[in-house]
Structure 1
Amino acid sequence: MVQVCLNGSRSAADGAGVPVSPEDLARSAAEAVAAGATSVHVHPRTPCGRESLSPHVAGPALEAVRARVPVPVGVTTGAWTEPGPAARLDRVRSWTVLPDFASVNWHEAGAEEVAAELPARGVGVEAGVWSGTRGAARFAASPLGPRVLRVPAEVTDPDPASAGASARALPAELGAAHGRPVLLHGEEGGTWPVLRLAVRLGLATRVGLEDTLLLPDGRRAGSNARLVAEAVAERGRFPYRPGPAGEGRG
């Protein structure tokens, strides 16, 4: 599985290829899926570019993307999108167009409440666990763990020289991860080293302009499709070979 993360906190100031409007998100998603992406992660934006979970913002973005792609589409519920946990929960309850899944960062205040509400609305949960946080320990102790769709394990170390070590440590911190699939990915300079490790371990991964603006050779990517195509090529270069008893599977 290669998930595409279309925009994240990026804006047009980061480059013309970063999609913000529903129409641009839909076009970029379609190109990325054609390049090999099997799911889409998006941060809906207001017309002025602010991230929001409002149904008036998330709904049009979801409808536009869904009209162009046949794969599951998810959104963030990051704490920065609303002023507090109660407001985030209210936003999730107010959605009129539902995503297929939503990412909940387990180290953030109110994560358990948001993660409990989503399945009640028919929305799958991605349990985001970031390196350098208490997310892994909190998820390991969560009664909601067995119910999540998968566990995106995010290596936040942007240094390519040390991201690999962080990427090896994070799945170890997760342990059995309640038996849920792990999606391992990095960001900025750590994106490609972590992606290659995920491929070697037989784990799902993600890539997109949210995580990096650069191709492995340091050139500007210019589009989500370019990044996805390179990730798919990396899978071909480093085919997964299972160890004893399927070691490394997510």
Structure 2
Amino acid sequence: MQVCLNGSRTASDGTAVPLTPQEVAEAAAAAVAAGATEVHVHPRTPCGQESLSPQVVAATVEAVRARVKVPVGVTTAEWAEPDPALRTARVREWTALPDFASVNWHEPGAEDLAAALLDLGVGVEAGLWSGTDGPARFAASPLGPRVLRVLAEVTDPDADTAEASAHALLTALGGAHGRPVLLHGTDGSTWPVLRLAGRLGLATRVGLEDTLTLPNGERAASNAQLIGEGLRGHGHGQGQERGPAE
């Protein structure tokens, strides 16, 4: 199970959200001790802004690697660097390479960005969001068979409709170029989709990027606590059903 440590959360979301390299590394270590097998993080500048600059990415990746021995991935989201050409240029300047990076396929420049990462030897998580043309664009992409995995994100925040949205997204993925699928939700859909991923035998993730609350609605104290709850809800991947993305 992957832990998504911070995402676009800010200090206003509570002190549990790790922002500095040191905080991120400590949170990663605790989450791995709780059972996380991968780390996904959004590196921040000293003032708390998301950034893809080589210095910022290196500081975070190196700090996490000093504490854990599991794969470490970072974001390449459009909001961290809105200009597509500059975003790809930033990535090509990275000095401390993460094990993988997520690329949102519906964002401008996704193909060039993914190609740059692959050239560097960095694994690509193809971020395919519900409600976007990402799945259709990915289905037509020649890079599809080369990605590390598909990161299927249910953006529907409604817990009552989350499973239906997840099934629709998995159907839209089709064969997903034969790549493994990690299925997860956000906010209200986090826990229903996580449980569905367990039933379907799919990998998943959880962390403060996706939700600030536990399944019972209480505020989560840490990423580690969310991982513990996630492992229980997911059933350690012992699914009985198989989805169309398998």
Q: What TM-score range do you get, normalising by the shorter chain? A: over 0.9
| Alpha-carbon offset, residue 194 of structure 1 | 0.5
Q: Which residue of 2 aligns with 1:31?
A: 30
Cα distance in structure 2, aligned partners of 1:124 and 1:159: 31
Q: Alpha-carbon deviations, 1:171-192, whole Å to 9, x = none?
A: 1100000000010000001000
User: Contact 2:41–2:73 (CA<8 Å) still a contact in 1?
Assistant: yes
Q: Which residue of 1 aligns with 2:192?
A: 193
Q: Which residue of 2 aligns with 1:213?
A: 212
Q: Which residue of 2 aligns with 1:41?
A: 40
Q: Which residue of 2 aligns with 1:101?
A: 100
Residue 160 of structure 1 aligns to a residue whose secondary structure is coil
What runs of 5+ residues in structure 1 fail to find an aligned partner? none
Q: Which residue of 1 aligns with 2:157?
A: 158
User: Contact 1:201–1:248 (CA<8 Å) still a contact in 2?
Assistant: no
Change (3 A) 1:202 1:212: same
What runs of 5+ residues in structure 2 fail to find an aligned partner? none
User: Contact 2:176–2:245 (CA<8 Å) still a contact in 1?
Assistant: no
Matched, 1:114 2:110: no
| Alpha-carbon offset, residue 235 of structure 1 | 2.7
Q: Where in structure 2 are the equivalents of 1:36-185 lying within 5 Å? A: 36-185=35-184
Q: Alpha-carbon deviations, 1:11-54, whole Å to 9, x = none?
A: 12101100000000000000001111110000000011100000
Residue 50 of structure 1 aligns to a residue whose secondary structure is coil
| Alpha-carbon offset, residue 240 of structure 1 | 1.1
| Alpha-carbon offset, residue 90 of structure 1 | 0.7
Question: Percentage identity across aligned positions?
Answer: 68
Point out 4+ residue stretches in structure 1 off by more than 6 angstroms: none
Change (3 A) 1:39 1:237: closer
Residue 161 of structure 1 aligns to a residue whose secondary structure is coil
Query: Paired residues, what number?
Result: 246
Change (3 A) 1:124 1:12: same
Cα distance in structure 2, aligned partners of 1:11 and 1:92: 23
Aligned-pair Cα RMSD in Å: 1.3
TM-score by length of 2: 0.97
